[in-house]
Each structure stands twice: as structure tokens, then as C-alpha cells.
Amino acid sequence: MKKTILLLASLALWSCGTATKNTIQETQTEATSYKDLNNYAFTGDFEVEDIKHSKHKAWFEAGYTNFKLSESEKKTLKKHLKKYEIIGFIGTWCPDSKREYPKLIKLLDEVDFESEDFKIYAVNRMKKTSEGIEQKFNIRYVPTFIFINKKTGEETGRYVERPNENFIKDIIQIVTQQNYTPYR
């Protein structure tokens, strides 16, 4: 029994970083707008409100509610995040995305990040969006959160899949332009 549970857990984690064969569900996802996919994984661009009104609501709200920032972390992030636009890629089917995406949204809410400076896309298990935008950003793993300097338009850093140290410290390292290497 322990071997079976370990095998299933390993497969779930592996699936976030590795492309798998296309399934019927993914075929439907690619062919249909995400707004019609309340019972399926999202693909393409979406808004936070779309998650809150879908079958994904439970994992999103749990992650959002449980994530906490200290006042000093909020102050540091608020000071530095205003210099960036953020483009994110998640898989609503992916355990890593389910863990990290709600944290990012809570962090952005806590520091009053401008919504027009944030764009989020959902990918299918093949790491594809309905728009094909993932190709421009070389998305291989999810979640991936890309920080783009507003002044230069250049990518400053990216958070990929899971933290090196912890979520907040990793994001602070990126936005304060410390030496940071993503997990993947």
C-alpha cells in the first residue's frame, strides 16, 4: 500500500514538469474556450475570478487563506514589485500550480499590485495555451511566474515550479535583483 501511494504521489509531481500524452479532456480543452470548461482544466488567459467560480475554487481558496506575509515582507515587496509586470503560467491540473498560484495572488493583493501589470495563462498537460503564447516565453514547467522590468521591457527573473528556499524569499530575491536561480 505504501509503495502504491508513493508511486501515485511521484507521478503527480512528475506530471507538472513533463509533457504527457494528450487525453480526451485536453483535446476538449484545446478546442473550447476556458469559460466553457467548468468541469475541465483551464487553458489560455483567465482572471482570478474565473478560478473562484469554477471547480478549482476549493484549492484556490485554501491556498489563498493559508498564505501569510509579515509586515516587513509586505513593505519590501510593495517597494520593489511596482517596477515589474508579471506574466504567469499555471496548470489547473498541476499540484505545484495549485500550491503556488494562490500564494502569488495573495501576495499581489496584500501589496496592492496593479491588476493591469499582471497577466495569467493556463496551460494544458502539454504546456500549451490556446493562444500559443507559451512559446514566446519558453515555458517548460508550471507554475512559471516571469518578472519583466517595466522600464526596459526585459525579463529580470522567473520563479519556476517550486521555491529554492521559500516562496516569499524567492520572490524577494527576484524583485530586489539578488542572485537568484530558479528551481528548474
Domain limits, the chain: 1-184
Amino acid present at 80: H
Q: Measured between alpha carbons, how far is 31 from 9 in angstroms, rounded to an integer?
A: 30
The dihedral over CA atoms of 154, 122, 91, 70, expressed in degrees to the nearest 10, equals 60
Q: Measured between alpha carbons, how far is 153 from 176 in angstroms, rounded to an integer?
A: 16
Checking if the pLDDT of 4 tops 70, the result is: no
For 23-41, the pLDDT digits (tens) are: 323 333 343 444 444 456 7
Separation of first and last alpha carbons in the chain: 31
pTM above 0.85, yes or no: no
Instruction: Record the cell numbers describing residue 127, joined without a space.
Output: 504546456
The fourth-level CATH superfamily of domain 1-184 is Glutaredoxin (3.40.30.10)
Q: Measured between alpha carbons, how far is 95 from 22 in angstroms, rounded to an integer?
A: 18
Instruction: Record the cell numbers describing residue 168, joined without a space.
Output: 516569499
Strands 84-90 and 44-46: unpaired
Checking if the pLDDT of 14 tops 90, the result is: no
